[in-house]
Structure 1
């Protein structure tokens, strides 16, 4: 079968044929993938196996991998105190004629379903108090550890220059975007990457060092369409989000929502703009 996903340009795996890729993974990992469980996303495909594990497969251009590689899920297996699926095995290969890499990771099954599998959060998910305790314990434990990895949300390394560029591209009046403290972060904490009612954080391919508060600010920003949930995130992650770096990260997250590709009907849009104005005022005095 000739796959159109062999193109070196960006593709959407939700619509491209991936049968050949799935077959290669089955042969290499010696598993059978359950076709009825396949979940297709823009740059990844996942499925349950016949040994009650999960396999996630991602396609990435070589230029989006960099010197640290892209075995984030494997490297996250050494983290202590973080609720995440157990990692079992990994596989990667390069396409013969294109600058494209594929990677498959086999992990344990999630303890529940994603809180919000896709789209924007528009209603309170009503996760229990124990869920918030799990979130806090995991993010605090993660930030206390050490890594040489650099976080790459959306496959872009987080640097001071990138933070400043993203914020000022949306809010050019932002005067001081300097970050003081960098800690390990998941770098893609959102309602689609956490399970409920039992907390578990998955999709670790982009974790690494990032400004303090990135993960807390990301979940807060993704909750802005539901004010009571955004307020709960701020209360639970107060230590991060009331720090100066945390506020810079909140502004960074707002910039992504209110940037040039903002959707006028996004329920997070106006709250993000209001919060950005407040944050810029506060940061001027810090």
Structure 2
């Protein structure tokens, strides 16, 4: 059994064999992964250990690893004022057969269960204290400093990338220039948040990004539940009311309405309506 997947194939760790990868991680970390605890996603795999910790495993092609490195979870450990699992250590290695790197980070167990999938179809039960913790953590994150650049969906976010993404879907006389860049999680969705105890996890892509990226991303993952999307906009209204937040909302809408849009995606119509409103707001300025 090989450790790698041919780069000519679509990589999906939900179906690819990874037994040798798991064996290597157990040997390197000197911990056993608990049978039956494996959670497999498209780009990552997670499992509980016999010492009550969690290991997150990811595979990336060389060309998806930027010059800043590939240690988001490790570097996020120094961030202050953010509810996140404590980081303990990692193992990283190069695949012998493919231009691929593997990485496994060990952290504390999550204090609660993931709220849901990346895109929710029904409203979760979240307390007012939960929303207070979300706001406190996102505000604390945005107030810090970093030289890292965020890589949402493994793409380094730049002004050019934002403009290209928005202009590829929306036409109009509006400016996409970003005025303020702040630290962001860059993959904020309901699969990376826990409840009832609040925490944010999966920090691989964090770094400097346009103000409002995280808020817009969470809103976009809520659009199938209108009341939840409205709550996100209310809680993060300072972001959404800013000019950069409006551009990031268009950026989020461009992902929903772009060339890979699914015709049955319930988020399509609310994304279209919001995009039209935002373009009107930006044109009036």
**TM tier relative to shorter chain:** over 0.9
1:206 is aligned to: 205
The CA deviation string for residues 215-264 of structure 1, in whole angstroms up to 9 with x for no partner, is: 01111111111111111111110111100000100110011011111111
Matches within 5 A, 1:175-186: 175-186=174-185
Pair 1:227-2:226 in alignment: yes
1:99 is aligned to: 99
2:272 is aligned to: 273
Q: Which 4+ residue blocks in structure 1 deviate beyond 3 angstroms?
A: none
Shift of 1:127: 0.5
1:143 is aligned to: 142
Q: Work out the CA distance in 1 between the residues paired with 2:180 and 2:265.
A: 31
The CA deviation string for residues 259-281 of structure 1, in whole angstroms up to 9 with x for no partner, is: 11111111111000010000000
Matches within 5 A, 1:25-174: 25-116=25-116, 118=117, 120-173=119-172
Q: Is the 8 Å Cα contact of residues 130 and 198 (structure 1) preserved in structure 2?
A: no
Cα 1:120–1:245, aligned 2, differ >3 Å: closer, same or farther?
same
Q: Is the 8 Å Cα contact of residues 115 and 191 (structure 2) preserved in structure 1?
A: yes
Q: Work out the CA distance in 1 between the residues paired with 2:185 and 2:102.
A: 21
Q: Work out the CA distance in 1 between the residues paired with 2:44 and 2:159.
A: 28
Q: Work out the CA distance in 2 between the residues paired with 1:98 and 1:19.
A: 17
Higher mean C-alpha displacement, 81-90 vs 174-183: 174-183
Shift of 1:175: 2.7
**RMSD (Å), alpha carbons:** 1.1
Shift of 1:212: 0.3
Cα 1:261–1:98, aligned 2, differ >3 Å: closer, same or farther?
same
| Structure 2 residues not aligned, in runs of 5+ | none
SS of the residue aligned with 2:153? helix
Q: Work out the CA distance in 1 between the residues paired with 2:35 and 2:171.
A: 48
Q: Work out the CA distance in 1 between the residues paired with 2:5 and 2:257.
A: 33
Shift of 1:96: 1.5
Q: Work out the CA distance in 2 between the residues paired with 1:51 and 1:179.
A: 45
Q: Work out the CA distance in 2 between the residues paired with 1:2 and 1:103.
A: 16
SS of the residue aligned with 1:36? coil
Q: Is the 8 Å Cα contact of residues 119 and 189 (structure 2) preserved in structure 1?
A: no
Cα 1:192–1:119, aligned 2, differ >3 Å: closer, same or farther?
closer
SS of the residue aligned with 1:35? coil
Q: TM-score, normalised to structure 1's length?
A: 0.97
Shift of 1:19: 0.3
Shift of 1:54: 0.2
Q: Work out the CA distance in 1 between the residues paired with 2:21 and 2:171.
A: 44
Shift of 1:125: 0.6
SS of the residue aligned with 2:77? helix
Shift of 1:205: 0.2
